């Protein structure tokens, strides 16, 4: 299989403009004849469905929540990047492009990343027009704050709830199209398979999560907008429902999976408090603007936040400021996470030993409590509700946790997977962040894909198709439904002794320990054997109560965990193959003399795209070579 990224020729700054002109168009009358399925209604899905409906296409949108408003995009707190340069501090489209390429450790395509930076300025204008209540400066211009990996202020924000406000904007645009009859909304529906007809994506199979009814839906194209797979680790900052099933089922139908081992470790998460937890809570990276990260210079086991004030300045190690004076506390997430882990590994962690302090006392003294409250009030309130500690009076405790996933379905410049007519948008694809995502770039990519990329590129594909109606009476749809029903019946017939959550937790612990922040060859090989044994036990001893024709959350979880098992094994294979330290993925065999991550550009400057070959078969690796014409590959330094 030859991977064609379809990156346009010509100068970087002209690629997208020229490409848009060269794309084929669908005339307005014909758009009304084409049907499009959008799976997922977070920022990428809602913006895509709204935009395509506005253009005239007939859109069917699916989400497993009871409303698109509950998509996990609402959990993004800190902001959204755009190269507006309102601060006049040296920002530009090229600088945003460069920061993103560098922050991703030079493992992303130049063409995709530059387009993302280019359309970022339009995203903000669109969201303001929708009424998104961004913070503003005294003179009325939109306010900005700094984020990790950048030395300019380019992050637009709505207090500490930016994702929620952006989603409400996209949701209002989506509701307009629902009211106009151009989008049909299917809530509480989970996609369980993609249907291919003559090698093209022509529909999906879904399960109604309330009644259990299995249905099929046909269209001329299918868009996967279902987010990332961080919950393969069991404990992550993702919503409990977030899963890989839609993307994984697409993978098993021929869509290559790109860079599966690339996961985002976020440095500012509330630490694990016990085995009772089913998820973790993120504290926004924006807090690192004013919070200072530190640990005691000498080990003080069990040090509590309320006692932190008793530690003199001379006995505090502000380790990010010490090691990276140029960026300080605003180093990228992978650097901050790795250093926090290192402090704890040295025995200098606080609280349980797996935490560091994020301290706002200096900022409160400098700017006053009211100013800090205006910026982060809801985040401070959330922290206090969860931990019982008041961040205005004592430092927060934070520790790295799994957050975003940079890997995902491989897509070309048009966001199409290796299956014709099957697209992947937002976090569901691999395309824009390389080995590490800079903060405030997830919202940017989701909205860029939905509002400003897919409306052009989808038309190019549809223009080559007959607008003749696609129906579900073809045998391929019946075969897909029979397969889904067979899997469901198999789960219900096992009647084992262990719960789905037991298996999921064991998988997650294995992934975190051996395929998390630090990895080595021996550990990865052992993890592969553990996951294979766990998968075998799962299909023999899982206990799924209830029936198929009813609300059955254990059945939902079982199907998702089965997919996580298979994905976990592929992630380990990908990590084993990539014997370099890159982004947040520290390969212990590959480090500089001073312990920093060491890339191997001569061996690994490529996208790893994996092809599914069948149940329990080794997947086949395909490589898309990354070509850098506009940036020079250097060892990243934030010192």
What is the H or E stretch that residue 424 is in? strand 422-424
In the set 333, 348, 437, 587, the catalytic residue is 333
Question: Do the beta carbons of residue 418 and residue 254 sit within 8 Å?
Answer: yes
Q: How many helices (H) and strands (E) does the chain have?
A: 18, 21
Gyration radius from the chain CA atoms: 24
What is the H or E stretch that residue 29 is in? helix 28-31
Q: What are the helix (H) ranges across 180-312?
A: 245-252
Inter-helix orientation angle 110-129/93-103, to 10°: 120
Question: Do the beta carbons of residue 115 and residue 101 sit within 8 Å?
Answer: no
Question: Do the beta carbons of residue 270 and residue 379 sit within 8 Å?
Answer: no
For the record, the structure tokens of 267 come out as 């440095």
Report the length, in residues, of the chain: 639
Q: Which residue in 144, 400, 457 sits closest to 270, CA to CA?
A: 400
Rounded Cα gap, residues 293 and 519, in angstroms: 25
Rounded Cα gap, residues 153 and 89, in angstroms: 7
Rounded Cα gap, residues 456 and 19, in angstroms: 9
Rounded Cα gap, residues 376 and 157, in angstroms: 11
Rounded Cα gap, residues 185 and 62, in angstroms: 6
176 is catalytic: no
For the record, the structure tokens of 617 come out as 């078969």
Q: What are phi and psi of 60, to 5 degrees?
A: -110, 120
Rounded Cα gap, residues 123 and 115, in angstroms: 12
Active-site residues: which are they? Answer: 333
């Amino acid at each position: 299989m030859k991977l064609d990224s379809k990156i346009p020729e010509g100068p970087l700054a002209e690629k997208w403009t020229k490409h848009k002109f060269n794309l084929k168009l669908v005339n307005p009358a014909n758009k009304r004849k084409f049907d499009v399925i959008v799976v997922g209604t977070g920022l990428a899905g809602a913006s895509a469905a709204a935009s395509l409906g506005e253009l005239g296409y007939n859109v069917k949108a699916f989400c497993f929540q009871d409303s698109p408003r509950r998509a996990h995009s609402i959990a993004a707190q800190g902001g959204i990047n755009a190269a507006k340069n309102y601060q006049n501090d040296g920002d530009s489209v090229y600088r945003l492009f460069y920061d993103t390429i560098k922050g991703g450790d030079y493992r992303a395509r130049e063409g995709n990343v530059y387009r993302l930076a280019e359309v970022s300025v339009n995203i903000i204008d669109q969201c303001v027009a929708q009424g998104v209540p961004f913070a503003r400066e005294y003179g009325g211009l939109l306010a900005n704050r700094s984020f990790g990996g950048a030395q300019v202020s380019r992050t637009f924000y709505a207090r500490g709830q930016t994702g929620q406000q952006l989603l409400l904007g996209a949701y209002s645009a989506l509701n307009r199209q629902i009211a106009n009859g151009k989008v049909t909304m299917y809530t509480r529906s989970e996609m369980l398979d993609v249907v291919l007809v003559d090698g093209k994506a022509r529909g999906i199979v879904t399960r109604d999560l309330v009644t259990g009814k299995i249905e099929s839906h046909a269209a001329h194209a299918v868009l996967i907008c279902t987010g990332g797979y961080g919950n393969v680790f069991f404990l992550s900052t993702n919503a409990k429902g977030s899963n890989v099933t839609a993307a994984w089922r697409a993978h098993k139908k021929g869509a290559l999976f790109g860079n599966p081992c690339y996961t985002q470790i976020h440095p500012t998460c509330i630490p694990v408090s016990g085995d009772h937890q089913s998820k973790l809570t993120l504290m926004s990276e924006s807090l690192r603007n004013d919070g200072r990260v530190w640990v005691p210079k000498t080990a003080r086991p069990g040090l509590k936040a309320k006692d932190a004030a008793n530690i003199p300045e001379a006995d505090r190690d502000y380790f990010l400021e010490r090691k990276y004076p140029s960026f300080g506390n605003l180093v990228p997430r992978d650097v901050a996470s790795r250093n926090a882990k290192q402090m704890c590994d040295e025995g200098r962690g606080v609280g349980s030993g797996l935490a560091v302090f994020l301290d706002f006392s200096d900022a409160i003294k400098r700017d006053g409590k009211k100013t800090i409250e205006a910026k982060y009030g809801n985040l401070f309130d959330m922290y206090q509700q969860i931990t019982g500690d008041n961040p205005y009076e004592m430092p927060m405790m934070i520790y790295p946790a799994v957050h975003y996933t940079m890997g995902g379905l491989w897509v070309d410049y048009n966001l199409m997977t290796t299956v014709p007519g099957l697209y992947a948008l937002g976090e569901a694809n691999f395309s824009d962040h390389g080995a590490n995502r800079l903060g405030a770039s997830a919202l940017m990519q989701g909205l860029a894909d939905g509002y400003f990329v897919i409306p052009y590129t989808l038309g190019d594909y549809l223009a080559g198709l007959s607008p003749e109606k696609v129906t579900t009476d073809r045998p391929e749809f019946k075969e897909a439904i029979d397969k889904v029903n067979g899997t469901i019946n198999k789960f219900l017939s096992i009647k084992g002794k262990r719960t789905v959550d037991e298996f999921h937790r064991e998988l997650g612990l294995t992934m975190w320990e051996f395929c998390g922040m630090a990895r080595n060859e021996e550990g990865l090989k052992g993890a592969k054997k553990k996951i294979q044994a766990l998968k075998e036990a799962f299909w023999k001893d899982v206990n799924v109560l209830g029936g198929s024709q009813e609300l059955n959350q254990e059945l939902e979880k079982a199907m998702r965990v089965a997919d996580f098992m298979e994905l976990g094994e592929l992630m380990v294979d990908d990590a084993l193959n990539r014997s370099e330290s890159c982004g947040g993925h520290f390969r212990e065999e590959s480090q500089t003399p001073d312990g920093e991550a060491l890339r191997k550009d001569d061996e690994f400057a490529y996208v790893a795209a994996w092809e599914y070959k069948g149940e329990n078969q080794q997947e086949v690796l395909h490589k898309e070579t990354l070509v850098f014409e506009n940036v020079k590959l250097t060892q990243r330094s934030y010192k």
